[in-house]
Amino acid sequence: MVCRRGEEVLLIRRGRPPRLGEWSIPGGKVMWGENLIDAALRELAEETGIVATISHLVEVYEIIDSRFHYVLIDYAADWISGEPRPGDDADEARFFNMEEALKTVAQPDLRDVLLKAFG
């Protein structure tokens, strides 16, 4: 989930594998019977304490390796309330301006998602 607050974007520093210690966007697993949008908003609240509303679908990625098959569905969302605080899977959570965010995020595909979300 790319959570936007004006020209800022919310990033979390991952507290668990995969990519432990890297900056990313909030996200997680869909629970049985949960729709995708509800799952994205729940994960956002659990990881950061932020309440937002979904704006649009940004990208769908499929990652297949020897151990896992992930489908990553990235939405853009607009901040409604709350100040970032780490929780659940995050060690740190805060808003960055886009220039800082693009320098902070290590993965090129995630930088592309950030840019598309602000498209």
For the whole model, what pTM was predicted?
Answer: 0.93
Q: What are 53's two structure tokens?
A: 């509303």
pLDDT tens-digit series, residues 18-77? 889 999 999 999 999 999 999 999 999 999 999 999 999 999 999 999 998 989 999 999
Q: What are 91's two structure tokens?
A: 């060690």
Alpha helices by DSSP H, the chain:
36-48, 98-104, 108-118
What architecture (CATH level 2) is domain 2-114? Alpha-Beta Complex (3.90)
Catalytic residue numbers read 92
Question: Domain coordinates of the chain in residue numbers?
Answer: 2-114
